[in-house]
Amino acid sequence: MSEADALLSLMRERRSIRRFRDEPVPQELLARLIEAATWAPSAGNRQDWFFSVVTSPDVKRQMADAVRARWDSIIAANRDSGIVGEVERYVAHFADFAAAPAVIVVSARSVDAVQRHLLGDAAPSTVGSACSAAMATQNLMLAAHALGLGTCCMTGALAARNELSQLLELNKKYELACLIAVGWPDESPAPPARKPTTEIARFWP
């Protein structure tokens, strides 16, 4: 198999894993995932990302409690609006990351005042820090799969971004981008259907 075919196969085989074995992930493996993430491209090669690697059961519990409390507040405030029914089905899973042996919280550098002044609402997408963090996240998840680990990228928890940032003592210059649950897989999900390229792409000759 060529290197290109091997890479494409790795991309197709990766799954989002939500059930993990009760077995810790060695710190040296977690460090390898972070190192793989750093090889992602980044806007202006600024590498505007930061990774908080959490294995402490107590910290994970506090994070999960903060997420549940925030979503309970959101649901309560919108209970009579008729718009939370669909969301409520998923809320129970937004704190599932706490059951993983490790949680890697990916953050991206915030837009600064000068960038906001120059670019206005276009600043976040133009500066590209969030996009850079997303590319680093993909690198990390592919590396995890190659090493036999499972991952699941989660964003529902970010409703409690302020509380999580405080818990993790995150520098105020950074904003949370996603949480990645990491561990040894205890499931082997079937591949979900993918939309055909004809539905999601337009080619301009």
| Element (DSSP H or E) covering residue 34 | helix 27-37
Q: With cut-offs at 50, 70 and 90, classify the pLDDT of residue 124.
A: confident
Q: What is the DSSP track for 168-202? A: TT--TTEEEEEEEEEE-BS--PPPPP---HHHH--
| Percent of the chain whose predicted confidence (pLDDT) is above 70 | 100
The whole-number pLDDT of residue 56 equals 98
Tell me the average pLDDT across 80-87. Answer: 77
- C-alpha angle 146-53-24 in degrees, rounded to nearest 5: 60
Q: How are strands ordered across the β-sheet holding 102-109?
A: 49-54, 102-109, 174-183, 150-154
What is the length of the chain?
Answer: 205
pLDDT at 132 over 90: yes
Euclidean distance between the first and the last CA atom of the chain, given in angstroms as a whole number = 31
pLDDT digits (tens, 9 = 90+) for 136-179: 999 999 999 999 999 999 999 999 999 999 999 999 999 999 99
What are the backbone dihedrals phi and psi of residue 112, each rounded to the nearest 5 degrees, phi first?
-90, 175
From the options 3.40.109.10, 3.40.50.300, 3.50.40.10, 3.40.50.2300, give the CATH code of 23-77+92-187.
3.40.109.10
Q: What is the pLDDT of residue 1?
A: 85
Q: What is the pLDDT of residues 85-122, one digit of tens each?
A: 778 788 889 999 999 999 999 999 998 899 998 889 99
**Mean confidence (pLDDT) of the chain:** 94
Q: Average pLDDT for residues 71-95, to the nearest whole number?
A: 84
Check whether 49 has a pLDDT greater than 90: yes
pTM above 0.85, yes or no: yes
What does the alpha-carbon distance between residue 20 and residue 44 come to, in Å, rounded to a whole number? 37
Q: Please compute, for residue 82, the number of CA atoms within 13 A of its CA located in the half-sphere on the CB side.
A: 0
